Amino acid sequence: MKRRQRGRDEIRRRVLRGIALNRQPGLHFPGNFLDISFDRVTRGGSRLSLEPGPWCVGADGHVALGALAILADLGLAACIRAQLARESRLATVSMHLQFTGAPASGRLEAAGEFQGFFRDAARRLGMSRVSVTGGAGQVCYGTGTFMALQPPKSVTLHPVPLRNRKSPEPRPLNEEDLAAEEREILGRADAALAARGAFIRNFWGGEASLENGLHIGNRVGHAQGGILVGMAAASAAAALPGVWKLSGMTALYISPGEGRTLRASSTLVHHGRRTAVVRTQISAYSGKSRRRRVLEVVTTHAASA
């Protein structure tokens, strides 16, 4: 019992630390909560890392796919943003990840490499590739494309801080001094800690739906793309009978992750003896009847040995 309480206290301190880091503008709460370290960012490539803990692992003890996808997404974008101003907004257009079957355990490192800009486009469409490795070796590799856009009229973007492991610790927060949005994050964390199952799943949301908010928001307040990828993969897995391993995914971002609620719907495209394919759509809902498609994902799966 005491060990469990210590684990809960550690997660709660982590959430408060993420809120403190988020007071420096430029990144977003999910990245600050995970404490993504920008170990090296140059025009040629980037190297980012994530030190896992009980706040970001699933029921299997491995880093949750949403957290892994955030690391990959930031690794892909960092070397593109290095060609532009550090405050530039980069909207994810597509991301493909091929998994190796190795578990996402231990310290994860994402090595990104800039691949240039798409030629003769109306706006700058950056291209990059990434490889994510962990304690068991290479976890996945993939590619991504990002469109440089102006921020929404009501949003002022600041340079990404590029924090790393050597950066100073934020000043501890007094809970009485939290702003309303910050109290909402902490309240969600407390509810997630009180629920059964992995904290990160309860905190961010399950495979069917999630509530939008600062706790899953990106730099302009829309749902962060890596979290949506994790949601899509969970929805796809729930649509498959039996035990399967995610082998690959292609995510196509169609519109911003706005709205009160985001919901996932998966359709089984192919169910063979050794491989399967699932198509997942994530849509945003602002009311009972207002629906807008946000993300299309196709996942491939391999039957477990």
Give the mean model confidence (pLDDT) for residues 23-39: 97
**Is there a contact between 273 and 250 (Cβ–Cβ < 8 Å)?**
no
> What pLDDT digit, counting tens, does each position of 56-94 carry?
999 999 999 999 999 999 999 999 999 999 999 999 999
Transcribe 206-229 into DSSP letters: -SSEEE-SGGGB-TTSSBPHHHHH
SS3 letters for 103-164?
A: CCCCCEEEEEEEEEECCCCCCCEEEEEEEEEECCEEEEEEEEEEEEECCCCCCCCCCCCCCC
> What pLDDT digit, counting tens, does each position of 250-282 carry?
999 999 999 899 999 999 999 999 999 999 999
Local structure of residue 79 (DSSP, 8 states): H
Q: How far apart are CA 15 and CA 55, in angstroms?
A: 8
Average pLDDT taken over every residue of the chain: 95
What pLDDT sits at residue 206? 80
| Overall pTM surpassing 0.75 (yes/no) | yes
Instruction: Quote the crossing angle between the two packed helices 180-194 and 2-22, to the nearest 10°.
Output: 160
Q: What φ, ψ does residue 43 adopt, rounded to 5°?
A: -70, -25
Give the mean model confidence (pLDDT) for residues 295-304: 97
Q: What φ, ψ does residue 208 adopt, rounded to 5°?
A: -95, -45
> What pLDDT digit, counting tens, does each position of 95-149 carry?
999 999 999 999 999 999 999 999 999 999 999 999 999 999 999 999 999 999 9
- Where helices occur in the chain by DSSP H, the ranges are 2-22, 29-34, 65-81, 180-194, 199-204, 225-239
Give the mean model confidence (pLDDT) for residues 270-299: 91
> What pLDDT digit, counting tens, does each position of 165-210 carry?
999 999 999 999 999 999 999 999 999 999 999 999 999 988 889 9
Residue 208 or residue 40, greater confidence: 40
What pLDDT sits at residue 207? 82
Q: Per-residue confidence at 288, pLDDT binned at 50, 70, 90?
A: low
User: Picking from 29-33, 47-51, 68-72, 149-153, which range would have the lowest pLDDT averaged per residue?
Assistant: 149-153
What pLDDT sits at residue 3? 67
Q: What φ, ψ does residue 14 adopt, rounded to 5°?
A: -65, -40
What pLDDT sits at residue 1? 63
> What pLDDT digit, counting tens, does each position of 210-258 carry?
999 999 999 999 999 999 999 999 999 999 988 899 999 999 999 999 9
**Residue (of 235, 242, 222, 226) closest to 292 by Cα position:** 222
